[in-house]
Amino acid sequence: MRLEEEEDGVPATALREIAILRELKHPNIIELQHVFHTDKSLYLAFEFCDSDLKQYMRSIGNMLPAAAVQSYCWQLINVISRCHSHRIFHRDLKPQNLLVQPARGVLKIGDFGLTRAFQLPLRAYTHEVVTLWYRAPEILLGAKEYACPIDMWSVGCVLGEMATGKPMFPGDSEIDELFKIFQLLGTPAENTWEGVSKLPDWQSKFPNWRRCNLRTSYAALSTNGVGLLEGLLAYDPRVRLAGKDALAHAYFDTLDTESVGKGPIR
* SS3 category, 202: coil
Mean pLDDT of the chain: 89
Q: What pLDDT shows up at residue 54?
A: 96
* pLDDT digits 0-9 by tens, 1-49: 777 666 666 777 778 888 888 888 889 999 999 998 887 888 989 999 9
Determine the Cα–Cα distance for residues 156 and 147; give it in Å rounded to an integer: 16
Asked if residue 136 has pLDDT above 70, the reply is yes
| Rounded percentage of the chain residues whose pLDDT exceeds 70 | 92
Q: What pLDDT shows up at residue 97?
A: 93
Are 237 and 138 in contact by the 8 Å Cβ rule? The answer is yes
Q: What pLDDT shows up at residue 228?
A: 98
Active site residue 52: no
- Confidence category of residue 238, pLDDT binned at 50, 70, 90: very high
Asked if residue 127 has pLDDT above 60, the reply is no
Residues 73-111 as b or e (16 or more Cβ within 10 Å = b): bbbbbbbbbbbbeeebbbbbbbbebbbbbbeebbbbbbb
CATH fold, domain 50-259, is: Transferase(Phosphotransferase); domain 1 (1.10.510)
Catalytic residue among 39, 92, 245, 253: 92
